[in-house]
Amino acid sequence: MSNAHSMTGNGGLAASAGRIDRPLVLVGLMGVGKSTIGRRLANALDRSFVDADEEIERAADRIVSEIFEAHGEAYFRDGERRVIARLMDEGHGVIATGGGAFVDDETRALVLEKGIAIWLDCDLETLVERTSRKNTRPLLKSGEPRAILQGLKEKRSPAYAQAQIRVVTDDGPHEATVNRILEELATWR
Ligand SMILES: Nc1ncnc2c1ncn2[C@@H]1O[C@H](COP(=O)(O)OP(=O)(O)OP(=O)(O)O)[C@@H](O)[C@H]1O
Ligand SMILES: O=C(O)C1=C[C@@H](O)[C@@H](O)[C@H](O)C1
Ligand SMILES: [Mg+2]
């Protein structure tokens, strides 16, 4: 058992989840934990991790909110679609997407075909609390964050629900969510 596995005490689960050779792609709303859980999931599985929002920022040489301000959402979505298509081909173990990526028909079809989509879901209160800690999400700046998040949850859930796996996260430690994902992967066929 490697150090990464023994640290989290989930080596057996990680081993049976590890037989899946497709990229594991985390989808879901802003603040649900795609980036932080994704990094830990990759660590538990001894796989590489990449964050699509960070890759878009690297490609554009600007942070996400600057891209939204300078060029608008449609331009951001075009870049996001291209970056995720590239990431799906590069052989990454775990990919954290931006909150809107899986809502795009083309991106969703590609992820479902070549990867395993994991929908991280959680209740609205938790999302409101988690997203209030940072003021970097452009879509939450145009009004009342709770109302915006509620609207996005209603509008996007049918797309997220097409993911092969759904895991509900709560206020427990990140590792509990990672373990729940490993359990789902271990029984996934
Ligand atoms: N299971 C959890 N328990 C406690 N805090 C969490 C959990 N998951 C995420 N958080 C916290 O919520 C915040 C948002 O998480 P994170 O940045 O991973 O979300 P995200 O889904 O990547 O959001 P975005 O779509 O905006 O990139 C972080 O401060 C993170 O530590
Ligand atoms: O939910 C969304 O549409 C977004 C989520 C973030 O990850 C970023 O990709 C951006 O702020 C847009
Ligand atoms: Mg993120």
Share of the chain residues as helix, strand and coil, in percent rounded to the nearest 5: 60, 10, 30
CATH number of the domain enclosing 175: 3.40.50.300
Instruction: Tell me the pLDDT tens digit for each residue of 12-48.
Output: 788 777 788 899 999 999 999 999 999 999 999 999 9
Instruction: Report whether residue 104 contacts ligand 2, using a CB cutoff of 6 Å.
Output: no
User: What's the 3 CA to ligand 1 centre distance in angstroms?
Assistant: 24
Complex ipTM, two decimals? 0.94
Query: Which carries the bigger pLDDT value, residue 187 or residue 24?
Result: 24
pLDDT tens digit sequence for 44-95: 999 999 999 999 999 999 999 999 999 999 999 999 999 999 999 999 999 9
Instruction: Verify whether ligand 1 is closer than 6 Å to residue 126 (CB atom).
Output: no
Ligand 1 contact, 23 CB (< 6 A): no
Give the distance (Å) from ligand 3 centre to CA of residue 94. 13
Residue 22 falls inside a structural domain: no
- Closest ligand 2 atom to Cα of 80: 9
Helix (H) or strand (E) holding 49: strand 49-51
32 lines ligand 1 (CB under 6 A): yes
| Residue 104, annotated as binding a ligand | no
pTM: 0.93
Let me know: does 184 contact 167? Beta carbons within 8 Å. Answer: yes
Q: Per-residue pLDDT tens for 115-163?
A: 999 999 999 999 999 999 888 899 998 899 999 999 999 999 999 999 9
Residue 21 lies in a domain: no
Number of domains in the chain: 1
Cβ 153 under 6 angstroms from ligand 1: no
Rounded to whole angstroms, how far apart are CA atoms 65 and 62?
8
pLDDT, position 9: 63
Residues with C-beta atoms within 5 A of ion ligand 3: 34-35
Q: Could you tell me how far CA 49 lies from the centroid of its own chain? A: 11
19 lines ligand 1 (CB under 6 A): no
- Tell whether residue 97 is among the known ligand binding residues: no
* Tokens matching residue 140: 């939450």
The answer to whether residue 111 sits within a structural domain is yes
101 CA distance to ligand 3 middle (Å):
11
Is residue 3 in some structural domain?
no
Q: List the domain range (segments joined by +) for residue 61.
A: 27-186
Name beta bridge partners: 158.
none
Asked if residue 19 belongs to a domain, the reply is: no
- Residue 96 pLDDT > 60: yes
Q: Is residue 180 part of a domain?
A: yes
